[in-house]
Structure 1
């Protein structure tokens, strides 16, 4: 289990995160909602070891990983799918996947490659071609596959539907659900709240760097903080039900 406890992150004199608490569990999709600038991406980057918190804690199965370097956190089973996919366009699909498995043994990489191709057959079909020639949706599948190559217990996903056509968003979200159904915990930041809530188990709403709601997705739709999150930060002024 990943536990983010009262996390605070500062960039100089600016407080980007001011008390975020989130729990992510194996086999469940935890959706983080909030307006732009609410601190969602910074929270993911801190868990992944790319940003150092000023206070609070991040625990993995009860052990603090606060301040650990990113490569050590990756080896412990937490992988990040960054915003914008960030595939290596000039490299082949196969080479992109191999990069994702560099921290694993040769046997583990071979097993992971088979798993990725089973989940995303299009990647096997196009494994010899440049990743830059894939469509946006296919590049997102590649980003997921690259993350899976390290055999993580948890995957952090930052805006997986960004820039994708509505029909493609549904396929991407179905892939997120499929990953969680394999027992992997998913902590996902997503601006498309409706699409995210269709496949999520739990929802956390972040407003101005603070957690204002946390609970099961079935209850979230009736909670004012979540409903107002659909309208953006400026609308998050109501009283919770």
Structure 2
């Protein structure tokens, strides 16, 4: 379980995240929706230890982890799948995956690698090829697999469908659902609102760094605060008109 309370993050004098609170339960997908600049990615980066938070609380499995270094958070069971996938292009698929499992011992690394190959068979087929030669969808699978190598309890995902062909998006999001069904808690930022709402269990909508809605995915679609956060005031006015 991940519990985030009153999280504040600033870049200089600009407060990008203002009191965000949310939770992620094992086997559940929490979707974060909001317009560009709403503070979604900054929230994920703060949770992963990549940017400092000014104040707040982040509790993972009952332990306060706010401010811990990224490698310590990985050891505690928190993994990030970054925006744009960020695979190591010149390295092979297998080398990318092994880097994701650097916290594991050799025996655990090999057993986890076998599970990743079973989950994403295309990675097994491409294991000796350069990661940079994979298609966009295959690179996203590799990013998922690399995160899975650390055996996370919670995975943070930043725009997993970004830049992918529509025909590929369904299979990628099906992979997200499978990871949740395997017991991993998922906190996902996704600009494809319709697909994200179909997939998610819970929704958190943010606007200007603040949470404006928290609730079940099924209740979120026609909630004015969710539409306003995602579409913006002008677009919402046009929709209502």
Match of 1:207 in 2: 207
Alignment of 1:16-55 (within 5 A): 16-55=16-55
Shift, 1:115, TM fit = 0.9
Shift, 1:111, TM fit = 1.4
CA distance, structure 2, for counterparts of residue 19 and residue 115 of structure 1: 38
Consecutive unaligned residues of structure 1, counting only runs of 5 or more, are: none
Q: Does 1:149 align with 2:149?
A: yes
CA distance, structure 2, for counterparts of residue 208 and residue 236 of structure 1: 16
Q: Could you tell me whether the CA contact under 8 Å between 1:79 and 1:154 is conserved in 2?
A: yes
CA distance, structure 1, for counterparts of residue 187 and residue 225 of structure 2: 19
Q: Does 1:6 align with 2:9?
A: no
Q: Does 1:191 align with 2:191?
A: yes
RMSD: 1.3
CA distance, structure 1, for counterparts of residue 183 and residue 4 of structure 2: 20
CA distance 1:157–1:233, shift in 2 (3 Å): farther
TM-score by length of 1: 0.95
Provide, for residues 149-204 of structure 1, a one-character-per-residue CA deviation record: whole Å limited to 9, x for no partner. 00010100000011011111111111100110000000000111111111111100
CA distance, structure 2, for counterparts of residue 235 and residue 23 of structure 1: 29
CA distance 1:115–1:156, shift in 2 (3 Å): same
CA distance, structure 2, for counterparts of residue 169 and residue 85 of structure 1: 14
Match of 1:140 in 2: 140
Alignment of 1:106-185 (within 5 A): 106-185=106-185
CA distance, structure 2, for counterparts of residue 236 and residue 111 of structure 1: 50
**2:87 alignment partner, SS class:** coil
Q: Could you tell me whether the CA contact under 8 Å between 1:207 and 1:236 is conserved in 2?
A: no
Q: How many residues align?
A: 237
CA distance, structure 2, for counterparts of residue 151 and residue 229 of structure 1: 33
**1:155 alignment partner, SS class:** strand
CA distance, structure 1, for counterparts of residue 21 and residue 41 of structure 2: 14
Q: Does 1:89 align with 2:89?
A: yes
CA distance, structure 2, for counterparts of residue 234 and residue 120 of structure 1: 42
227-236 or 173-182, larger mean C-alpha shift: 227-236
CA distance, structure 1, for counterparts of residue 151 and residue 111 of structure 2: 9
